[in-house]
Structure 1
Amino acid sequence: MKVSFVIPALNEEGVVGKTIRSIPVKEIEEAGYTVEIIVVNNNSTDNTAQEASDAGATVFLEEKRGYGNAYLRGFKEATGDIIIMGDADGTYPLEQSMDFINYLVEDNCDFVIGSRFDGTIEDGAMPALHQYIGNPLLTKMLNILFHSDYSDTHCGMRAFTREALDKMDLKAPGMEFAIEMVIEASEKGLHIKEVPIHYKKRGGGEAKLSSFDDGWRHVKYMLTRKFGKN
């Protein structure tokens, strides 16, 4: 079986290489898997692409910027039976990837997502507005509207099988891609598992989130999806 890591990167020079090297390739290979690492360069203006390539990743250019656009390109290029996704900024513990793989293979899960709120959040890793208000409220709203039971709908470290990916109808181009995926996983009846993780401060690069704009985009997406455009 092959494991594909898909990492979107927009101006992450100085950290993307460290993130790639944090992937426990040797541990995964010793468990009997082959590994590929894909970085989607989302039209960076710095040395992100070269740094990722030097660290051992296969780099694809996606000129259309957007969180969803980058991941959709990465998933298209990935050839693995298992796909693991995570940000390029060093915030997610990719060294914990074997736990995610084991849940998929040994426990027959389809979709595994990290939970920062069931795990630990390093001081300064998440703005207080996001940690205590934004993320909990958006998670609660999604759970109510879509009858799900997530503790952290916006955690970006996730893993799923190729079959699960094929079942999910993913097409959102921007940050709303994060909740589109968890809604799809729930609505398609996938066997979902949440795993506590340790969320870390950014290792470098530039923050991409806009608290109000991205929060409203997520609310609008959920309401439109639930109740229709009218």
Structure 2
Amino acid sequence: MKISFVIPALNEEGIVGKTIQSIPTEEIKEAGYEVEIIVVNNNSTDNTEQEAREAGATVFLEMNRGYGNAYKRGFKEATGDIFVMGDADGTYPLEQSLNFINYIVEDGSDFVIGSRFKGSIEEGAMPALHQYIGNPMLTKMLNILFHADYSDTHCGMRAFTREAYEKMDLKAPGMEFAIEMVIEAAEKNLNIKEVPISYRKRGGGEAKLSSFDDGWRHIKYMLTRKFN
């Protein structure tokens, strides 16, 4: 069985290499799996691509910028049986990846997602507006509208089988991809497992989120999807 790590990267020089090196490749191989690490360079203007290659990743260039565009390209190129996704900025504990994989292989989960709110959030890792208002509000809204039961719909560390990915009809080009995926997982009745994780401060690179713009885009996406 093969594990494909897929990591989008836009101007993450100085941290993308460390993020790749945090993947417990040897531990996963010792557990009997093959491993590939794919970084999608989302048209960076810095040294992201070279740094990722030097750290051992296979790099693909996706000229069309956008969170969803980058991930869709990465999943298209991935050859594994299980996909693991996480950001390039060092915020997610990719060293916990084998735990996610075990829930799929040993417990029969189709879709495993981290929960920062059931785990821990390092001081300064998440703006207070996001931690206490934005993320909880958006999570509650999604759960009500789509009859789901998530505690952290915007956690970006996830793992799922290739079959689960193929069942999810993912189209969003931008940040809405994150909630499109959790909605699809719920609507397609995938076996979903939440795993507490430790969320850390960004290790470098440039922040991509815009609190109000991205929040409104997510609200608009949910309402449009539900009522159109």
Offset of residue 158 of structure 1 = 0.1
In the alignment, the residues of structure 2 paired with residue 19 and residue 37 of structure 1 have an alpha-carbon distance, to the nearest angstrom, of: 11
3-state SS of the aligned residue for 1:118?
A: strand
Deviation at 1:219, TM superposition (A): 0.1
How far apart are the structure 2 equivalents of 1:34 and 1:192?
24
- Match for 1:165: what amino acid? Y
Could you tell me how far 1:135 is from its partner in structure 2?
0.2
| Cα distance between partner residues in 2 of 1:162 and 1:76 | 11
How far residue 98 of structure 1 moved from its aligned partner, in angstroms, is 0.4
- Structure 1's unaligned 5+ residue stretches are none
Compute the displacement of 1:2 (Å). Answer: 0.2
Match of 1:206 in 2: 206
CA distance in 2, matches of 1:171, 1:30: 36
Say yes or no: does 1:223 pair with 2:223. Answer: yes
Q: Describe the superposition over 1:175-210 as per-residue Cα deviations: whole angstroms up to 9, x where unpaired.
A: 000000000000000000000000000000000000
**Aligned mates of 2:223, 2:139 — CA distance in 1:** 13
Structure 2 gaps of 5+ residues are none
Cα distance in 2 for partners of 1:82, 1:72 equals: 15
Counterpart Cα distance in 2 of 1:17 and 1:157: 17
Work out whether 1:77 is the aligned partner of 2:77: yes
Shift, 1:83, TM fit = 0.2
d(CA) in 2 for partners of 1:54 and 1:72? Answer: 23
The residue aligned with 1:47 is 47
- In the other structure, the counterpart of 1:149 is 149
Offset at residue 49 of structure 1 (A): 0.2
Structure 1 stretches of at least 4 aligned residues deviating more than 4 Å after TM superposition? none
What is the CA deviation profile of residues 13-70 of structure 1, one whole-angstrom value per residue up to 9, with x for unaligned ones?
0000000000000000000000000000000000000000000000000000000000
Give the corresponding residue for 2:118. 118
- What is the number of equivalent residue pairs in this alignment? 228
Partner residue of 1:189?
189
Q: Which amino acid aligns with 2:61?
A: L
Q: CA RMSD in A?
A: 0.2
For residues 75 and 4 of structure 2, what CA distance do their matches in structure 1 show?
9
**Residue 165 (structure 2) pairs with residue 165 (structure 1):** yes
* 3-state SS of 2:46 partner: coil
Residues in 2 aligned to 1:200 and 1:80: alpha-carbon distance in whole angstroms? 27
Give the equivalent residue in structure 2 for 1:57: 57
Secondary structure of the equivalent of 2:4?
A: strand
1:30 pairs with 2:30? yes
CA distance in 1, matches of 2:208, 2:66: 10
Separation in 2, partners of 1:150, 1:42 = 29
Q: Distance in 1 between matches of 2:92 and 2:80?
A: 21
